[in-house]
Structure 1
């Protein structure tokens, strides 16, 4: 086995398989000949299937078309810090956009409050008149009589 290209999970699975094989082999001494031969044949079949090499799939560094959709290929999975930085740029742009939108909405709300305050202060009535319940009733009656 080439340990340079194997993953730790593959190494652990291989160690587990070797332990199970050793345990099963130690228990075959007491079995009859026909059962031990069937077990040996099954073991040979399992080993023949295990030796099948599965090709490593890698993403293509290109744009692939599938009908009316386009799929981006990633290329090398281990791009390092540069690919992490490039993938973080859209997230940062989104966050900056949200902050700008929030600031613009806050300023718009402040401008609306300032316009209402300016209208109250430049009006002929004092601001206390607007909180008077009698004035509210006066506005309702004059509005309906006009």
Structure 2
């Protein structure tokens, strides 16, 4: 049965269950006869389907086998572990770069504060021109 047939059968079952008390005896007998015919047909057609699969697919996939619950857990861990490692790596990289930037700014602040020049000299555009000229 395909999906449409299953949905139709389910809807018919719900409708019959809802109106079970309102059905006449003739209708009940014809439904019982139809059920016997359907069961006879179902018994005649074998529903066994053999699926070929590699040996490892049952052990590590979700297809079943003795390790199915453990394999499912391992499969989820196989996805979550690299994701978690990536998040930790990016967080560590961010912390390292932030610490480097803070250290660099602290070195600049220490150099400016330990210098004999007043802070206003660094804000003067003429002084910057003088330093650039002196370096050449």
Offset at 1:124? 1.3
Q: Hey, what does 1:134 align to over in structure 2?
A: 126
Task: Indicate how the Cα distance of structure 1 residues 76 and 141 shifts in structure 2: closer, same or farther if over 3 A, else same.
Answer: closer
Distance in 1 (CA, whole Å) between partners of 2:122 and 2:135 is 15
Q: Hey, what does 1:93 align to over in structure 2?
A: 85
Distance in 1 (CA, whole Å) between partners of 2:118 and 2:59 is 68
Is residue 6 of structure 2 the alignment partner of residue 11 of structure 1?
no
Distance in 2 (CA, whole Å) between partners of 1:59 and 1:98 is 38
Kindly indicate whether structure 1 or structure 2 has the higher relative contact order, using CA contacts under 8 Å at least 6 residues apart: 1
Superposed, 1:1-146 pairs within 5 Å as 11-12=2-3, 56-61=51-56, 75-77=60-62, 79-80=68-69, 82-83=73-74, 84-144=76-136
Q: What is the aligned length?
A: 92
Distance in 1 (CA, whole Å) between partners of 2:121 and 2:96 is 33
**Aligned partner of residue 56 in structure 1, secondary structure:** coil
Offset at 1:127? 2.0
* Structure 2, unaligned runs of 5 or more: 8-47
Instruction: Calculate the TM-score normalised by the size of structure 1.
Output: 0.49
* Structure 1, unaligned runs of 5 or more: 1-9, 17-52, 63-72
Structure with the bigger percentage of strand:
1
